[in-house]
């Protein structure tokens, strides 16, 4: 075992500290008790990081046109391709599309190369899809992209409003901090504003299930209410803000009466009034908002309407009060710090300000910096489609899955003259279109820094060797810069050199003019950078006082517009851009699920993370299912004007009428036809350019098949002759759900072909010709190799017990006898569908324990089975199970 290494989780914007301990049996993962974001806690995804580090599926060598080659050749092809394109068509004919997964140092170098040396601002990032609306709203209100609140503020607030955020699943460690604060201070009130009744509502005192996209009406109404009830902080407004009258007039004109607001938002008037009363009477209020606000064609106005209410009451820059934009990605904020988006410069400077451009250009010693923003993500792929951008480098992201109207993105890449993709995987939807594929070092193999949602800079550190010829992204960009003739400006030997340059730039012409200033870190030695503890910015030169205590950002009422005043923004409510109609009567909402991350390149490798929700699904209200003629548990087609996909129908109880939810994660590696991005309406917010992922008119229809089934196998099976499939990794097996339209004449021969079983294999089978049911199992030396279950109906046996047989070196006579029934002779051997991923506890086990020990609370379940005692992400599900049972018992 080697020494433990302190690093940072590569998943969400909470930015938890992780301790990684490489050993003979893999890498041990635990939470870093000293990290101020999580104090030792990790969620299910963070806890399972050790399961995601295998080299399976990794890209280990550069490839040009599918042929493996050396770095020199690949980099020459990239540099020559970019140089040729720039020479022929100008700098705006090339682009970089990068990622919130990038480390700050990767981002810094890519941004410097594109803006300072290539001379275009065509660098954008998948963070555009996540929080660019919040960023735009910060800049409009504060004069700078500043998040004034820390996680510690949540613990001293008296009211927390969670808007458009399934915090329980998407930012679980922050959610657990809120849960704990509420346990300690039950008077802490929680309001959840979300169309869905998500697991986050588990702790809500009040849930407002507003219609998607109506937030601005709700917040404008609150602004009016606060003013009418004398809650304005007049001294603060007069001394530190501008624009209150216009904002109030617009709010009054659009949302002047509670009843009208309630009607527009589709919420009970009493609930709206209760929210307004709570907000009005609670000075310490934090409004935490996320993608439900940002991913909208009016996302910037939604965020501005929230900020307006904090400005009106002066509840900003004070302990336990303020707006908190929580980001999806681990380094969305670090990317913004270096200016890694098309409309930014660097170090929170403005690309459209000549003085700041000149300052950065002189600091970099660069030939030119463009004076206008570049193409934002959506426009960038449009420009590729139109042939205006002819060479693109896509790094650490998979836009063919994650972008709206993703089939058009795929078509754009098919046409593009030069597509370079740097990724740690050998295969994904975007790599399929790469002319050049560059192997990137992954988490644990590279180092640098990230900034989480509360402005805390943490180090990611190396604890594994980079495999094959993989390299960090910053190195690749430097190598290409060198080949383009810019070697002197990109002669970095380490991330330390990049970081201190970035820190120096942040202090350039600053002197308090910009909040983002880490000049105090510019003189870090290599050893100090290596040992850097988490630190919140600003860290101005001579201060080094960042530490974990919230710095008094905005507490003096000094904002970052030139006059130091904040701006109210008059927000005119606008509904979503696509309306439902007879053909598309439902609203498609997309988002994350508890145990998956983005397009599953890392989380999809973990059996325990795949166990919770192993198939692509669409969640729907049961009455809407009836109206659409589809049944829970069956496969359905989700169709929009832009595309279609197939998924299993479920009804979690979370959905309001006329809305469906589909997770964003599934891709062509994990399912035949489940890229929800292909269905999403390609409209964007006019200010931020963030797409409308939460509101696409859609319909749901039956997906007619002749049979469906599943295969469990020790090896991934290349299924043939099926209409639909999805794949999930389990412990020592792969699970494939399949369905088909063609009925083979000979099921037995068909099954043997799928499972590659020899004629003399130990083969069990069951055929019921009259019902069309077929089941088979293949064993080698009494060890289960694979099994296959098919039926014309979805009445297939549960998968949990059959899956558990793969953990056995050999199965006994009882298991063998029960194998083709799909259920064990002893019912207690079937743990049921996984509820607690951390400890692998299933629904049947929990149900049995509740009965046997008369368990009445989630805490008691935890004491008996450990479920819910690690990350706590499954606690809402445990409570829901208890509630369901109590309801059944009461009937
Ligand atoms: Fe990672 Fe979970 Fe923490 Fe997010 S909440 S940073 S996914 S451990």
14 lines ligand 1 (CB under 6 A): yes
Cα separation, 874 vs 346, in Å, equals 41
| pLDDT on residue 552 | 67
Q: Residue 47 CA: which ligand 1 atom is closest?
A: 8
CB 409 within 8 A of CB 416: no
Helix-then-strand count for the chain, H and E? 30, 34
DSSP string for 521-565: GTT--HHHHHTPPPEESP--TTT---SSSPP-TTTTS--SSTTS-
**Whole-structure pTM value:** 0.94
Distance 807 CA to ligand 1 centre (A): 29
12 lines ligand 1 (CB under 6 A): yes
| pLDDT on residue 804 | 94
Q: Position of tokens 């905005």?
A: 554
pLDDT tens digits, residue range 269-298? 999 999 999 999 999 999 999 999 999 999
pLDDT tens digits, residue range 483-510? 999 999 999 999 999 999 999 999 999 9
Cα separation, 336 vs 332, in Å, equals 7
| pLDDT on residue 547 | 45
- Please list the ranges in the chain whose pLDDT falls under 50: 546-548, 550
DSSP string for 99-110: -TTS-HHHHHHH
18 lines ligand 1 (CB under 6 A): no
Distance 288 CA to ligand 1 centre (A): 17
CA-closest candidate to residue 571, choices 241, 303, 322: 303
173 lines ligand 1 (CB under 6 A): yes
Helices 299-312 and 132-142: angle between axes, nearest 10 degrees: 40
Distance 612 CA to ligand 1 centre (A): 17
pLDDT tens digits, residue range 123-155? 999 999 999 999 999 999 999 999 999 999 999
Q: Position of tokens 């998956």?
A: 596
CB 190 within 8 A of CB 287: no
| pLDDT on residue 827 | 82
Distance 664 CA to ligand 1 centre (A): 18
| pLDDT on residue 1 | 63
192 lines ligand 1 (CB under 6 A): no
Q: How far is CA 320 from the centre of its chain?
A: 26
Q: Residue 42 CA: which ligand 1 atom is closest?
A: 8
Q: Residue 452 CA: which ligand 1 atom is closest?
A: 6
708 phi, psi to nearest 5 deg:
-140, 165
Give the contacts of 624 (CB within 8 A, at least 6 positions apart).
586, 655, 657, 658, 660, 700
Helices 244-255 and 215-228: angle between axes, nearest 10 degrees: 110
User: Burial level of 256, CB count in 10 A (0-12/13-18/19+)?
Assistant: middle
Cα separation, 350 vs 335, in Å, equals 15
Q: How far is CA 293 from the centre of its chain?
A: 14
278 lines ligand 1 (CB under 6 A): no
| pLDDT on residue 551 | 53
Distance 298 CA to ligand 1 centre (A): 28
170 lines ligand 1 (CB under 6 A): no
Secondary structure E strands in 2-77: 5-8, 17-23, 26-31, 63-64, 67-68
| pLDDT on residue 550 | 44
Which protein residue has the closest C-alpha to ligand 1 atom 2? 43
Q: Which of 10, 20, 38 to mutate to test the pocket of ligand 1 (most atoms within 8 A of CB)?
A: 38
pLDDT tens digits, residue range 421-466? 999 999 999 999 999 999 999 999 999 999 999 999 999 999 999 9
Q: How far is CA 253 from the centre of its chain?
A: 36
- Report CA dihedral (66, 70, 71, 73) to the nearest 10 degrees: -80
Q: Residue 8 CA: which ligand 1 atom is closest?
A: 6
Distance 178 CA to ligand 1 centre (A): 15
Measure Cα distances from 723 to 400, 671, 707, 776, 798 in Å. 22, 11, 10, 20, 22
Distance 151 CA to ligand 1 centre (A): 14
Give the contacts of 740 (CB within 8 A, at least 6 positions apart).
705, 706, 707, 708, 721, 722, 723, 724
Q: Residue 597 CA: which ligand 1 atom is closest?
A: 7
Longest dimension (CA), the chain: 87
118 phi, psi to nearest 5 deg:
-70, -35
DSSP three-state, residue 485: helix
Reading the block at residue 494, the tokens are 């380490």
801 phi, psi to nearest 5 deg:
-65, -45
Reading the block at residue 508, the tokens are 């350039």
Q: Which of 31, 46, 606 to mutate to test the pocket of ligand 1 (most atoms within 8 A of CB)?
A: 46
pLDDT tens digits, residue range 362-389? 999 999 999 999 999 999 999 999 999 9
Could you give the strand order of the β-sheet that contains 17-23, starting from the edge strand earlier in sequence? 5-8, 17-23, 26-31
Q: Which of 7, 8, 10, 11 to mutate to test the pocket of ligand 1 (most atoms within 8 A of CB)?
A: 11
DSSP three-state, residue 285: strand
Q: Residue 18 CA: which ligand 1 atom is closest?
A: 8
Q: Position of tokens 């433990």?
A: 4
CA-closest candidate to residue 587, choices 619, 613, 629: 619
Q: Which of 7, 9, 602, 872 to mutate to test the pocket of ligand 1 (most atoms within 8 A of CB)?
A: 9
């Amino acid at each position: 075992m080697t020494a433990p290494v302190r690093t940072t989780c590569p998943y969400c914007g909470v930015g938890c500290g992780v301790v990684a301990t490489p050993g003979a049996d893999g890498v041990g993962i635990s939470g870093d008790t000293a990290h101020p974001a999580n104090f030792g806690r990790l969620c299910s995804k963070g806890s399972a990081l050790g399961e995601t580090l295998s080299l399976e599926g990794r890209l280990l060598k550069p490839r040009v046109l599918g042929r493996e080659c050396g770095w020199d050749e690949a980099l020459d092809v990239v540099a020559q391709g970019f140089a040729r394109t720039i020479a022929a068509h100008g700098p705006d004919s090339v682009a970089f599309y990068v990622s919130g997964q990038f480390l700050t140092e990767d981002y810094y170098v890519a941004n410097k190369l594109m803006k300072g040396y290539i001379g275009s601002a065509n660098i954008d990032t998948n963070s555009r899809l996540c929080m660019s609306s919040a960023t735009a709203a910060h800049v409009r209100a504060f004069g700078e992209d500043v998040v004034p609140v820390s996680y510690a503020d949540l613990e001293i607030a008296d009211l927390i409003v969670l808007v458009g955020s399934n915090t329980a699943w998407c930012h679980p460690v922050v959610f657990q901090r809120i849960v704990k604060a509420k346990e300690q201070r039950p008077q802490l009130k929680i309001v959840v504003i979300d169309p869905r009744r998500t697991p986050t509502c588990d702790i809500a005192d009040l849930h407002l299930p507003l219609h998607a996209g109506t937030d601005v009406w709700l917040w404008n109404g609150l602004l009016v209410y606060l003013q009418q009830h004398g809650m304005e902080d007049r001294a603060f407004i007069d001394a530190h803000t501008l624009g209150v009258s216009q904002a109030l007039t617009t709010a009054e004109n659009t949302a002047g009466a509670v009843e009208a607001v309630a009607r527009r938002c589709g919420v009970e008037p009493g609930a709206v009034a209760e929210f307004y009363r709570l907000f009005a009477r609670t000075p310490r209020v934090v409004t935490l908002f996320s993608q439900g606000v940002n991913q909208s064609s009016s996302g910037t106005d939604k965020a501005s309407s929230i900020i307006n209410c904090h400005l009106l009451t002066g509840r900003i820059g004070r302990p336990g009060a303020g707006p908190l934009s929580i980001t999806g990605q681990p380094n969305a904020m670090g990317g913004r710090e270096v200016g890694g988006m098309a409309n930014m410069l660097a170090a929170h400077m403005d690309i459209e300000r000549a003085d700041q451009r000149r300052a950065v250009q002189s600091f970099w010693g660069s030939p030119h910096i463009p004076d206008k923003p570049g193409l934002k993500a959506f426009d960038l792929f449009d420009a590729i489609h139109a042939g205006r951008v002819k060479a693109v480098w896509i790094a650490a992201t998979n836009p063919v899955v994650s972008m709206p109207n993703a089939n058009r993105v795929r078509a754009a890449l098919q046409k593009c003259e030069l597509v370079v993709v740097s990724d740690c995987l050998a295969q994904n939807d975007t790599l399929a279109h790469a002319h050049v594929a560059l192997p990137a070092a992954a988490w644990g193999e590279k180092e640098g820094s990230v900034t989480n949602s509360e402005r805390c800079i943490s180090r990611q550190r190396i604890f594994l060797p980079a495999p094959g010829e993989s390299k960090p992204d910053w190195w690749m960009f430097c190598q290409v810069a060198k080949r383009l003739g810019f070697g002197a400006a990109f002669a970095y030997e380490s991330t330390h050199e990049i970081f201190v340059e970035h820190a120096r730039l942040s202090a350039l012409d600053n002197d308090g003019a910009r909040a983002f200033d880490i000049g105090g870190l510019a003189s870090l030695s290599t050893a100090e950078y290596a040992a850097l503890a988490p630190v919140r910015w600003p860290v101005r030169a001579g201060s080094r006082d960042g530490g974990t205590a919230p710095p008094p950002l905005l507490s003096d009422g000094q904002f970052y517009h030139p006059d130091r005043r904040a701006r109210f923004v008059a927000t005119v409510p606008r509904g979503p851009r696509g309306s439902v109609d007879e053909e598309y009567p439902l609203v498609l909402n997309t988002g994350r699920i508890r145990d998956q991350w983005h397009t599953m390149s890392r989380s999809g490798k973990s059996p325990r993370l795949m166990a919770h929700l192993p198939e692509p699904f669409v969640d729907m209200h049961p009455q809407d299912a009836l109206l659409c003629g589809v049944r829970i548990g069956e496969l359905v087609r989700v169709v929009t004007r832009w595309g279609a996909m197939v998924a299993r129908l479920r009804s979690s109880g979370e959905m309001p009428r006329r809305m469906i939810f589909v997770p964003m994660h599934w891709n062509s590696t994990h399912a035949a036809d489940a890229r929800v991005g292909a269905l999403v309406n390609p409209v964007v917010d006019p200010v931020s350019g963030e797409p409308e992922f939460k509101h696409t008119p859609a319909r749901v229809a039956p997906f007619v098949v002749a049979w469906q089934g599943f295969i469990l196998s020790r090896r991934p099976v290349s299924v043939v002759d099926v209409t639909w499939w999805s794949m999930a990794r389990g412990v020592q097996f792969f699970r494939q759900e399949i369905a088909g339209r063609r009925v083979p004449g000979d099921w037995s021969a068909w099954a043997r072909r799928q499972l590659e079983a020899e004629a003399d294999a130990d083969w069990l089978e069951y055929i019921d010709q009259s019902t069309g049911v077929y089941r088979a199992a293949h064993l080698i030396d009494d060890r289960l190799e694979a099994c296959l279950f098919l039926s014309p109906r979805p009445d297939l046996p549960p998968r949990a017990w059959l899956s558990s047989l793969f953990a056995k070196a050999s199965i006994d006579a009882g298991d063998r006898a029960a194998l083709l029934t799909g259920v064990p002779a002893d019912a207690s051997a079937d743990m049921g569908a996984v509820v607690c991923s951390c400890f692998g506890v299933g629904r049947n086990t929990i149900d049995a324990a509740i009965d046997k020990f008369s368990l009445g609370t989630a805490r008691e379940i935890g004491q008996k089975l450990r479920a819910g005692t690690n990350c706590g992400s499954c606690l809402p599900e445990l409570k829901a199970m208890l509630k369901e049972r109590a309801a059944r018992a009461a009937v």
